[in-house]
Structure 1
Amino acid sequence: MTSDIWLPYPADEIEGLPEGLDYRYWDGQDDFPADPADCAFYVVPYLKGPKISVRPLAGMTSVRVVQTLSAGTDHVAPALGGLPGGVRLCNAKGVHEASTAELALTLVLASLRGIPGFVRGQEREEWRSGFYPALADKSVLIVGHGSIGAAIEDRLAPFECARVARVARSARTTERGPVHALADLPELLPEADVVILSTPLTPETKGLAGADFLARMKDGALLVNVARGAVVDTKALLAEVESGRITAALDVTDPEPLPAGHPLWHAPGVLISPHVGGSTSAFLPRAKRLLARQLTRFAAGEELDNVVLTTEGGTRPAGAGE
């Protein structure tokens, strides 16, 4: 059995790594640090894009674990079909919740309270006083109630929202109340002042916020996307925001990065941040703790955390979770 571990950080910068494994540093450089065929545990470089992320996978014939440092795995999962059976794909649950939830709340507050307009006013030395919407007394709908969606709800608690409704792939009950299924969206959308998307990108959620979804949102509602750009139909969103009927705050877009000249840049009522939900000072210490914990479990032959699918071998991956 091979013991090569590919890490996107030098091993001496990660406290708590188990001994007895061969650590190789690779963060997307042109040259591989060793033969990919000898890699047993591959940690995907963070924020390097799908092309770099999957480049060594075809040669990783002995790999047993692929660990992302992102909450989503859609940039890696399609490339796992040619790997041997039993390869576990793990995500970074526990790493991004604080930062992404923090940004989601920032986007909500900035959009409602008119912060982009204040910034433009400051640049022009204009005093833009008046009344602006508050988050207090608003009804919020969170679409995607995994760990990030739950963290967003935690941060909404002090803001005196009139209601927080939750939607996930399947219905369940939490300490704060029911979680509705996706099938309930048609009834829930017209009641929400703020709709926050925090769902994984799956075949089921791709284009979820399309023309029908957006049309069901109430006049004046705010759409916030901290999920993946492709969860929203960009053409349909443009039609709604250009009419002035709804507004949007987007940390992710489709396409991404958003190219110069794209109409979303200057669409009325749209606030854009450049996919920075997870890339904050909170990321690195949490990512390193996750790697130390996962590799300790791996070295001891224990079950790993955050397994989202296991390959069948030579076929498409099976067992994807929410």
Structure 2
Amino acid sequence: MWLPIPPDEIDGLPEGLNYLFWDGGDDGGQEFPADPADCVFYVVPYMKPAALGTRPMPRMRAVRVVQTLSAGTDHVEAGLKDLPAGVRLCNARGVHEASTAELTLTLVLASLRGIPDFVRAQDRGEWQGGFRPALADKTVLIVGYGSIGAAIEDRLAPFELARVARVARSGRTTARGPVHPLTDLPSLLPEADVVVLSTPLTEATRGLVNADFLARMKDGALLVNVARGAVVDTKALLAEVESGRLTAALDVTDPEPLPPGHPLWHAPGVLISPHVGGPTSAFLPRAKRLLTGQLHRFVNQEPLANVVLTTGASGV
């Protein structure tokens, strides 16, 4: 069992298993803790380059489970072709909802209320007043209504919004109201003051926020991306924010990390955070609980939680 958290720091792990610590090291070049061919349960190092996480996978001939500690799994999917059939890929649903939803609300409020401008004015010793948009009475559209999208709505609930609209891959009904399918986006975008992206990166969502999507957003609307950078067409977004028609708050970008000198850094009305939706003090206790639960299920031959796909099924 390869874990990116030292096993002696995780309470309640099943006894009698051989736990090995491997987080890839600070430089991504750390040697493997053992022969990858003997690994049965692989927990991918967290917040490390995709190439590092997939590096041992071609040699993992006995692996049965690949567990990520991120909500998305796009960073390991390139390595799935090298795995034997029947390997279950699981994500970290339940680990990042609180942190990501907190950051989403932070980005929305900071952008609307002009917090970056206040910080810059403070650096200059200037007192800048004036009216700013409030979140109250706004319509928010959440694109990607899984567990993170629902957690975002939980935190929006006290803010006296006019409306929350929800969009997911397929439509359904929830206790809070309808979830619209992606095909309804053209009719929903013109009504939204704030559009929050919390969708996984898939072939269906890559480049979803293109020039047409952005053109349908109302003048002065705010785009918030806590999903993946490649969900947004960066060139199309730059055209809108540089014109001043839209604003944006981005925890993820394409490319990522955003290189020095990239025009997004200095685009008007753009607030950027460096992909920090997940790594907070809330991460470690939730990650440990997830791993403990998954390993107990694995040992007891019970159904695993958060299975995204199984290799060898449907062409994977």
Task: Give 3-state SS (helix, strand or coil) of 2:142's partner.
Answer: strand
Aligned to 2:81: 81
Question: Which amino acid in 1 is paired with 2:214?
Answer: L
Q: Structure 1 residue 218 and structure 2 residue 214: aligned?
A: no
| Residue type at the aligned position of 2:11 | E
Q: What does residue 276 of structure 1 align with?
A: 276
Aligned pairs (5 A) from 1:109-120:
109-120=109-120
Matched residues in 1 for 2:165 and 2:121: separation? 35
Q: Distance in 1 between matches of 2:282 and 2:82?
A: 34
Which residue matches 2:229? 229
Secondary structure, counterpart of 2:261 in structure 1:
coil
Matched-pair identity in %: 78
The DSSP-based 3-state class of the residue aligned with 1:309 is strand
Provide the aligned length of Structure 1 versus Structure 2: 312
Matched, 1:16 2:12: yes
Q: CA deviation at 1:10?
A: 1.4
**1:106-155 CA distance string (max 9 Å, x none):** 00000000000000000011111011000000000000000000000000
Residue of structure 1 equivalent to 2:53: 53
Look up the equivalent residue of 1:49 and give its one-letter code: P
Contact 1:211 1:236 in 2 (8 A): yes
Q: Mapping of 1:32-181 within 5 angstroms? A: 32-181=32-181
Partners of 2:311 and 2:303 in 1: CA distance: 16
Report if the CA contact (8 A) 1:209-1:233 is conserved: yes
In structure 2, distance between residues paired with 1:143 and 1:32:
39
Aligned equivalents of 2:150, 2:259: Cα separation in 1: 32
AA of the residue aligned to 1:234: T
Cα distance in 2 for residues equivalent to 1:269 and 1:63 = 47
2: CA distance, partners of 1:9 / 1:133: 43
Q: Which residue of 1 aligns with 2:301?
A: 301
Q: CA deviation at 1:82?
A: 2.1
Instruction: Find the counterpart in structure 1 of residue 186 from structure 2.
Output: 186
Q: Matched residue of 1:103: which SS?
A: helix
* Paired residues of 1:99 and 1:277 also in contact (CA < 8 A): yes
Q: How big is the shift at 1:157?
A: 0.2
Structure 1 runs, 4 residues or longer, greater than 4 Å off = none
Q: Deviations over 1:303-322 (max 9, x none)?
A: 10000000007x952xxxxx
Deviations 1:201-254 (A, max 9, x none): 000000000000000000000000000000000000000000000000000000
Residue in 2 that maps onto 1:205:
205
Asked if 2 retains the 8 angstrom alpha-carbon contact of 1:80 and 1:316, the reply is: no
Task: Answer yes or no: is the 8 Å Cα contact 1:241–1:270 preserved in 2.
Answer: yes
Asked if the contact 2:54/2:78 (under 8 Å) is kept, the reply is no
Give the C-alpha shift of residue 78 in structure 1. 2.0
1:252: which partner in 2?
252
Paired letter, 1:272: I
Unaligned runs of at least 5 residues, structure 1: 318-322
Give the Cα separation in 2 of the matches to 1:205 and 1:62: 33
Shift of 1:38: 0.4
Task: Name the TM-score, length of structure 1 as normaliser.
Answer: 0.96
Q: Is the 8 A contact 1:68 1:90 kept in 2?
A: yes
Partners of 1:165 and 1:179 within 8 A in 2: yes
1:82 and 1:22 map into 2 onto residues whose CA distance is 24
Task: Letter of the 1:84 partner, please give it.
Answer: P
The DSSP-based 3-state class of the residue aligned with 1:178 is strand
| RMSD value, Cα | 0.9
Distance 1:10 1:280 in 2: 18
SS of 2:40's partner is strand
